C-alpha cells in the first residue's frame, strides 16, 4: 500500500515523547490500558469508550477507533516505467506458409503501481515512498516468441517479510535486509538438477532481520532473484483438402508442452527464518526454499487431432 492512513510514523511517536529505537518504548506500545502502564507514562484513553483491553499502540493511531489499516482503493498513486528494444521478423514462404519471430529486451519498473491496482506486488515503506521504486513483479527482461514457441525470463521472487515486530510498533510491515556476498540460491533454478524430494533451493543466510522497530533496506524485488525460466512450446501441423467447390476438409494435429518439460512450483519464500524441515526419509516437507512436489506448474505433454469439414 502506498498510503496507510492509520499507520504510525516514527515522527508521530516522537511527538508523544516515544522513541522507535527504544526497547523500553517498544515494549510500552504493546501494553494495554488495563495494565495501567500507559497511564503511568502520562497517556490517556483517546476517547471515553476506548476499550481498556486495547494497547497503547492502538490508541496512538491517527484513527484509534479502527483496528485495521485504512487504505485508498484504486487511487492513482503508483507509477510504472517500461523501456524495451523490440524486434520482429516475418518470412513468407510458399503455398500460404509463413513464419514470424519476435524478441523483446525490456525493463519494467514500478513504484507501487501493481500494489494499487490489486494485481500483486508490495512495497517496503509507505512513509518513504521514493525508496519503493524497483523492478515490477511481472518483470521478464528477455522474451522470445516464434510461432507458438515462447521463451522468457523467470518471474521475480518477492523478498521475505521481516519478523522484527515493526507491525506491532508502527502498524506496518517491512522486508528483510539483503546480506552482501551471500548467494540467493542454493542451486541454480535453471540447472535442471533440482529434486524437490531432496533439495531446498533458497539460501536463508542471504537475508538478515532488521533491528526491532526498524524498516528493512531491501527492495521488494531484485533482478537476480528470479525463479526458473518457463518455456511455452506448442506445435500444430495441418492440411486442408479441397473436396469440391465450396467444400473442404481440414485435419490438424496440435501438441502442447511438446517436449514434456517439468515445471517446478515456486519455492516457499515469505519467511527466511522458516525452519527447513525434512521427514524421516530426508524429504523436505516445509521451510524456506521448500518446493511442493505434489503438483507442477504446468500440465504434462498432451496432443489432440482435429478434423473439420466446411461447406
Contact (CB, 8 A) for 12 and 60: yes
Mean pLDDT of 209-215: 86
Percent of the chain having pLDDT more than 70? Answer: 92
Between residues 295 and 237, which one has the greater pLDDT? 237
Q: What is the largest CA-CA distance in the chain?
A: 97
CA distance 269 to 201: 10
Q: Which pLDDT belongs to residue 96?
A: 62
Question: 42-65 in b/e burial notation, b at 16+ Cβ within 10 A?
Answer: ebeebeeeeeeebbbbbbbbeebe
Whole-model pTM: value is 0.75
Q: How far does CA 232 lie from the centroid of its chain? A: 21
Q: What is the pLDDT of residues 180-196, one digit of tens each?
A: 999 999 999 999 999 99
Q: By three-state DSSP, how is residue 120 classified?
A: coil
Q: What is the pLDDT of residues 93-134, one digit of tens each?
A: 776 667 788 999 999 998 876 655 555 567 777 777 777 888
Amino acid at each position: 500500500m502506498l498510503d496507510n492512513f492509520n499507520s504510525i510514523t516514527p515522527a508521530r511517536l516522537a511527538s508523544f515523547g516515544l522513541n522507535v529505537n527504544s526497547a523500553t518504548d517498544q515494549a510500552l506500545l504493546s501494553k494495554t490500558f488495563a495494565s495501567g502502564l500507559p497511564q503511568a507514562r502520562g497517556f490517556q484513553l483517546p476517547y471515553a469508550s476506548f476499550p481498556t483491553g486495547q494497547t497503547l499502540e492502538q490508541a496512538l493511531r491517527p484513527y484509534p477507533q479502527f483496528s485495521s489499516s485504512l487504505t485508498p482503493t484504486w487511487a492513482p498513486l503508483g507509477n510504472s516505467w517500461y523501456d524495451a528494444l523490440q524486434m520482429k521478423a516475418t518470412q513468407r514462404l510458399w503455398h500460404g506458409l509463413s513464419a514470424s519471430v519476435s524478441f523483446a529486451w525490456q525493463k519494467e519498473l514500478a513504484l507501487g503501481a501493481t500494489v494499487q491496482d490489486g494485481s500483486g506486488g508490495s512495497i517496503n515503506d509507505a512513509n518513504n515512498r521514493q525508496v519503493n521504486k524497483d523492478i515490477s513483479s511481472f518483470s521478464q527482461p528477455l522474451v522470445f516468441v516464434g510461432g507458438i514457441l515462447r521463451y522468457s525470463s523467470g518471474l521475480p521472487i518477492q523478498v521475505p517479510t521481516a519478523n522484527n515486530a515493526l507491525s506491532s510498533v508502527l502498524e506496518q510491515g517491512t522486508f528483510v535486509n539483503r546480506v552482501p556476498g551471500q548467494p540467493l540460491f542454493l542451486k541454480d533454478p535453471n540447472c535442471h538438477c533440482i529434486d524437490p524430494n531432496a533439495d531446498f533451493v533458497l539460501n536463508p543466510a542471504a537475508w538478515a532481520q532488521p533491528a526491532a522497530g526498524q524498516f528493512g533496506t531491501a527492495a521488494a524485488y531484485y533482478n537476480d532473484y528470479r525463479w526458473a525460466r518457463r518455456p511455452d512450446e506448442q506445435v500444430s501441423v495441418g492440411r486442408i483438402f479441397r473436396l469440391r467447390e465450396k467444400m473442404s476438409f481440414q485435419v490438424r494435429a496440435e501438441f502442447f508442452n511438446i517436449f514434456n518439460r517439468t515445471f517446478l512450483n515456486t519455492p516457499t519464500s515469505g519467511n527466511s527464518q522458516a525452519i527447513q524441515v525434512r521427514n524421516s526419509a530426508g524429504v523436505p516437507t516445509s521451510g524456506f526454499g521448500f518446493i511442493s512436489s505434489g503438483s507442477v506448474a504446468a500440465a504434462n505433454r498432451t496432443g489432440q487431432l482435429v478434423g473439420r469439414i466446411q461447406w
